[in-house]
Amino acid sequence: MSTLAELATKQEQAITPWEAWEMVRAQLRHEMSRAQFETWVEPLKPIDYENEKFTVAAVNPYARDWVESRLKGRISRMLEGYYQTAPVKMRFVIANDHYQPVVAAENQMPLTTASDDAGEAGDEKPARGKQSSSKRKVMLQRAYGSERARIIQPERGMFITNYFFQHWLGLIGHSAMTVILAARSMCYWNPLTGELRNEIETEMSELAERAAVSVRTVKSVLNDELVHKYFLRYSIRRVMTPNGVRTAGIMLQVRMDDPLTPEDQEVSGIMEDELWVTIED
């Protein structure tokens, strides 16, 4: 049995989470392609190691999910070797310029500084981070003025990247852009907390009205192979009428983040074909 002095010595000699993570990074750098490493591993940051639980932060939910699904086991085994303990549990959180994780007890989500409606203008509001959300809402009301804020509701926003405008708009066109944004406006995504509700069942006419285009334009847009990249699933519900087959409704699973363009996939070596839409008639 170790004495208190020996335990203290071991504690002093234990490597820090940052030192352990540097060793993990060095190993993964040799095991992965350069593009994959720089895209998924390079941005990760070690947060804490306590009670055999190692916490790592990703910059967004998509990166967190990718690393957790593909590298969690490998990283855990490497850390077990470094710390000479088993098992090391991995915890992946999100941290960026707007949101920093609070290391909390197991199964307790970190607090967020995002508004209740960050990411979309959906009717439902998550309870998580409510106090911080109220502060952001007050801040926006001060910027907009209370009456303008009541009408505009600036706290109910939609997450759109510059990449969408700079790389996708030229490929898909303005009509497709409005249809995608209209579909997103019927969903909810908070990129700071990871909360996602992205399946919608609607009518072509409703989507057309939200996008300020014709139903024919919506149908044409949804038949575009490139636009399919923004929908993980697209199915059509049809009914028979005296005049023939008529589209009664559509079910969409909307991608709330941005896929890589075909050109960027080829350049980076990050292929995302497994994420694209499957069409069911």
Residue 94 is classified by DSSP as E
Average pLDDT over residues 108-136: 42
Residue 123 has pLDDT above 70, yes or no: no
Q: What percent of the chain lies above the pLDDT cut of 70?
A: 70
Q: What percent of the chain lies above the pLDDT cut of 90?
A: 14
The reported pLDDT for the residue numbered 175 is 94
Helix or strand (DSSP H, E) at 140:
helix 130-144
Q: Which domains, and CATH codes, for the chain? A: 4-94 (3.30.300.180), 111-157 (no CATH), 162-280 (3.30.1370)
6-20, 63-77, 125-139, 162-176: which range is least confident on average?
Answer: 125-139
In this prediction, residue 267 has a pLDDT band, given cuts at 50, 70 and 90, of: confident
The reported pLDDT for the residue numbered 38 is 84
Q: What are phi and psi of 251, to 5 degrees?
A: -120, 125
CA distance 91 to 53: 7
**Nearest residue to 218 (alpha-carbon basis) of 169, 172, 179:** 179
CA distance 63 to 186: 24
The reported pLDDT for the residue numbered 217 is 94
Average pLDDT over residues 195-203: 85
In this prediction, residue 14 has a pLDDT band, given cuts at 50, 70 and 90, of: low
The reported pLDDT for the residue numbered 250 is 86
62-76, 109-123, 203-217, 221-235: which range is least confident on average?
Answer: 109-123
Q: Which residue has the higher pLDDT, 17 or 111?
A: 17
pLDDT digits (tens, 9 = 90+) for 95-108: 765 444 444 333 33
Q: Which residue has the higher pLDDT, 122 or 29?
A: 29
In this prediction, residue 109 has a pLDDT band, given cuts at 50, 70 and 90, of: very low
Neighbours of 246 (CB within 10 A): 10
pLDDT digits (tens, 9 = 90+) for 23-40: 899 889 888 888 788 888
Residue 39 is classified by DSSP as I
The reported pLDDT for the residue numbered 177 is 94
pLDDT, averaged across the chain: 75
19-33, 144-158, 245-259: which range is least confident on average?
Answer: 144-158
In this prediction, residue 114 has a pLDDT band, given cuts at 50, 70 and 90, of: very low
